[in-house]
Structure 1
Amino acid sequence: MAEKRFGQRVVLAGFRLDVAPGEAVAVTGPSGCGKSTLLRILAGLDHAFTGWAERPERLGMVFQEPRLLPWMSASANIALVAPFLSPAGIEAALAAVGLAGEGHKLPGRLSLGMARRVAVARALAVRPAALLLDEPFVSLDEDSARATRAAVMAYCAEHRPALVMVSHNPADLDGLVQRVVPIP
């Protein structure tokens, strides 16, 4: 990647990030420096930049907001992106993030923390070769954050995706990433 502009403001100027399969990288920097923009570019959601980005075909992403479809249950939100999963597989994905038995609930009946964990379960359910996480544990209490980090770490240990994560919390990075890359 070379450069991203918002009007006259340049972010990610000359920025390059290489992440190997199985490697977990945290991207850090001050608010507004382009961390979330970088993840959107890596996901293929932002094409208005100069340079290039390579990504695998199967990609999982957790946005800063859960972005669940409000008219679909938690289980249906997962099934939408992972139609190959059986109902038992969807329940296992929810259980991995501490939400066993909650799949019938619509997003409006979930707390923000629960919705965030559904979003993590959904990203893992696609069996991604690359996992992009934008502040994935930010609104979780410490027990839920620990369980959700453990689910991400277990997936990464078993499937070895390339992982790029944005977080301001050092606890989120501990044990999950091998390398921290600052954006100036």
Structure 2
Amino acid sequence: MDPIDGAKLALRDQLVTARGRLPLAELAERSRAVADLLLADPAVRRAATVATYVSVGREPGTGALLEGLAAAGKRIILPLLLPDDDLDWATYSGPDGLAPAGRGLLEPVTAPLGKDAVATADAVIVPGLAVDHSGLRLGRGGGSYDRALGRVPVGTFTCVVLNDEEVLDAVPAAPHDRRVTAVVTERRLLRF
């Protein structure tokens, strides 16, 4: 195994284990704090279209964020995981417009918009497991969001949602790994 891949795998295991130890009540509180910080940010307030995702399992929650974006009248697009691990996108029509998909994900039931739809978003909110102070993001390992971020125009607000303890001094990175411009946690929104 490549040394970078090995380092990523070990760090992912450590971070997923730590997430599993967080009490459910605390996850809900953190979800609200993340939503409040993002909804107050000028880049999100000005955005007409926001690309984001539906959190699952022990990921930092996005339910409150989705509610807030919808209440603010934003156009919200969510990912559809394709068989090759790339992402298509579809419009969010509310919680009743989500259906179970592979890998425990919830996806919109609206018509696919195409892989390049993410490029139409004024703000892009992505999941991750860690980020370093240069904006290098560690994901789950499928490369889905690295490909999607590669389609986002330079200068677009791209933000990873994490727990505060997942903002690290450094993360292992390969040449294909994409940087984000910001991180939001339950405590802060930090730009890189």
Q: TM-score range by the shorter chain?
A: 0.3 to 0.5
Structure with the greater alpha carbon radius of gyration: 1
Question: How does the TM-score come out when normalised to structure 2?
Answer: 0.37
Q: Normalising by the residue count of structure 1, what TM-score does the alignment of the two structures yield?
A: 0.38
**Larger RCO: Structure 1 or Structure 2 (Cα < 8 Å, ≥ 6 residues apart)?**
1
